[in-house]
Amino acid sequence: MLHFQVNLLTAWWAAGEAMHRRYEADRDRGEITATTALIVILVIAAIAAGGIIAAKITSNAENVPEP
Protein backbone atom coordinates (compact mmCIF):
# COMPACT_ATOMS: atom_id res chain seq x y z
CA MET A 1 0.00 0.00 0.00
CA LEU A 2 2.86 2.40 0.80
CA HIS A 3 4.37 1.90 -2.67
CA PHE A 4 1.04 2.87 -4.28
CA GLN A 5 0.74 5.99 -2.11
CA VAL A 6 4.28 7.10 -2.97
CA ASN A 7 3.60 6.61 -6.68
CA LEU A 8 0.32 8.53 -6.41
CA LEU A 9 1.99 11.40 -4.54
CA THR A 10 4.84 11.49 -7.08
CA ALA A 11 2.34 11.64 -9.95
CA TRP A 12 0.43 14.43 -8.15
CA TRP A 13 3.61 16.48 -7.75
CA ALA A 14 4.61 15.91 -11.38
CA ALA A 15 1.16 17.02 -12.58
CA GLY A 16 1.33 20.11 -10.37
CA GLU A 17 4.77 21.05 -11.68
CA ALA A 18 3.62 20.51 -15.28
CA MET A 19 0.62 22.78 -14.72
CA HIS A 20 2.84 25.42 -13.12
CA ARG A 21 5.30 25.34 -16.05
CA ARG A 22 2.43 25.53 -18.53
CA TYR A 23 0.93 28.50 -16.70
CA GLU A 24 4.26 30.32 -16.52
CA ALA A 25 4.91 29.72 -20.23
CA ASP A 26 1.52 31.16 -21.22
CA ARG A 27 1.27 34.30 -19.14
CA ASP A 28 -0.24 36.38 -21.97
CA ARG A 29 -3.93 35.65 -21.76
CA GLY A 30 -5.10 38.43 -24.07
CA GLU A 31 -6.04 40.79 -21.27
CA ILE A 32 -5.81 44.53 -21.82
CA THR A 33 -3.25 45.99 -19.47
CA ALA A 34 -3.67 49.34 -17.78
CA THR A 35 -0.82 50.78 -19.84
CA THR A 36 -2.49 49.80 -23.11
CA ALA A 37 -5.80 51.31 -22.00
CA LEU A 38 -4.05 54.54 -21.00
CA ILE A 39 -2.27 54.77 -24.36
CA VAL A 40 -5.57 54.29 -26.20
CA ILE A 41 -7.20 57.05 -24.15
CA LEU A 42 -4.29 59.41 -24.82
CA VAL A 43 -4.38 58.70 -28.56
CA ILE A 44 -8.12 59.42 -28.67
CA ALA A 45 -7.56 62.67 -26.75
CA ALA A 46 -4.76 63.69 -29.15
CA ILE A 47 -6.97 63.03 -32.18
CA ALA A 48 -9.79 65.07 -30.63
CA ALA A 49 -7.41 67.95 -29.81
CA GLY A 50 -6.06 67.88 -33.37
CA GLY A 51 -9.60 68.06 -34.72
CA ILE A 52 -10.45 71.04 -32.52
CA ILE A 53 -7.26 72.87 -33.51
CA ALA A 54 -7.91 72.19 -37.20
CA ALA A 55 -11.48 73.47 -36.86
CA LYS A 56 -10.27 76.69 -35.17
CA ILE A 57 -7.63 77.26 -37.85
CA THR A 58 -10.21 76.72 -40.58
CA SER A 59 -12.66 79.04 -38.83
CA ASN A 60 -10.04 81.76 -38.47
CA ALA A 61 -8.95 81.36 -42.09
CA GLU A 62 -12.54 81.75 -43.29
CA ASN A 63 -12.99 84.94 -41.23
CA VAL A 64 -10.00 86.71 -42.79
CA PRO A 65 -11.36 89.44 -45.10
CA GLU A 66 -10.31 89.31 -48.71
CA PRO A 67 -8.50 92.39 -50.03
Ordered by start, the domain boundaries in the chain are 33-67
* pLDDT digit string (tens) for the chain, length 67 residues: 788 888 888 999 999 898 888 877 666 666 778 888 899 999 999 999 999 999 999 999 888 888 7
pLDDT at position 50: 95
Rounded Cα distance, 9 and 22, in Å: 20
Q: What is the pLDDT of residue 7?
A: 87
38-55 core/surface letters (b: 16 or more CB in 10 A; e: else): eeeeeeeeeeeeeeeeee
